[in-house]
Every structure is written in structure tokens, then in C-alpha cells.
Structure 1
Amino acid sequence: MEYWTEGNRVFTFWDEDEYFYPATIVTINGDDIFVRFDTGEEEWTNADYLEEFIVEVDDEVECKSAQDNLYYDVLVLEVDGDRVEVEYEDETTEWSSLSRLRFFVDED
């Protein structure tokens, strides 16, 4: 996406652990973008650290499990709006929401 607007849902880079997490754009001031993560944290960033708020079938991401609230590697099996069906490494599946996903971008 070439541009962003206030209110857009995005995945935003969190520099403390280098993952992208769900967030909402609150304010745009020139090249500076203020976001609020779904967890409540807020920070200024720029467009280089934003990704579209979408996933696709066969994407490999991490999902916060409904069982224990820990993140696990998953494969996206199905996408239905903001809901996703994911498969864990032990081949169990569950429906979750985009807001429970995170991903890492390996730049190598």
C-alpha cells in the first residue's frame, strides 16, 4: 500500500522484539505516524515499519493460542474477514482473529 490514512488497521513493527503486531493508525503528521497497538501501547513510527492488515492462505505466521496465550508457529489454512483458521505444528487447528497474529520479517 502506497499510502495510509488515520483509522487504518495495520501490522506495525515493534522494535523490542522485532515482530510486526496488529495496530491502528491514530495520527499522521507528515512522515510520522502514531499507532496504537491492540495491546494498548502507543508509539510514533513511519511507513517503512507498517504492513497491510491482511494474511493469505499458506502464510506462515505466529498465533497467540486460545489455550495458553503463548505464541506458536502456525500455517494459515483459511481466511474469512478478520477471522483465520490456523494449523499448529502438532496439526491441531483453531479459528482465531487477525489481532492474535504476529510475524517476523527476515531481511536476509
Structure 2
Amino acid sequence: MKKQGYTCGLDAAVDVVGGKWKALILWALHYAPLRFGELKRSVPGISEKMLIQQLREMETYGLVHREVHHQVPPKVEYSLTEFGHSLNTALIPLGDWGEKHMRTIEAIPRG
């Protein structure tokens, strides 16, 4: 998380959603709140440690709300805040672009 000023709006947005996992977590929470295990299953390949770290960062930014239900066994649900929904809405065109160009992107040799 940056503590200094941003050079433009894209700089600020990339700071908030940067990395491989945050956009995928946002998308997984798009339709309904999820418990931790459900969220982990919805984001294939993410480790428990990384999911915890990303959720904490997203809570700090105000994208995700963590609600603890006091029951036995304990139940914790994660949901998008209004701020998180607004970012998800902004990411939809980027996802559409990725869908349209996925074959081209997959064909690019990486070393």
C-alpha cells in the first residue's frame, strides 16, 4: 500500500487491485457473501496464507467486509462493500477484454 501521492487515477486503482489474486477474490464475492472455505474453493490455486493476506489488505482498503457470526462453530463471512462493488464494476470491461483476447495472450511465449 502506497503512502505517497499517486501520479494518476490508474496508479491509484492498480495500487488497490494489484497482484494476481485481488481481482479474482472480488469476482468470487460478486454475487453473494462467502465463508473462508467457500472463497478459497472459488479462487483456484490460492493458498490459505495468501488468501488471508489478500483479504486483510482488501479490508484495509475498505473493499471487503468481514462479518463474524458468534455461534458454534464460529462462522465468518466475507462480502463486498459498496466500494468493492464499484471496483468490480470497473473491472468488468477489463475481463471482457481478456475474454476477447485470451487465445492471443495464451499464445505469447514466456521465458
* Coarse TM-score class (shorter-chain normalised): under 0.3
Normalized per residue, the structure richer in helix is 2
Normalized per residue, the structure richer in strand is 1
TM-score, with length taken from structure 1: 0.26
TM-score, with length taken from structure 2: 0.26
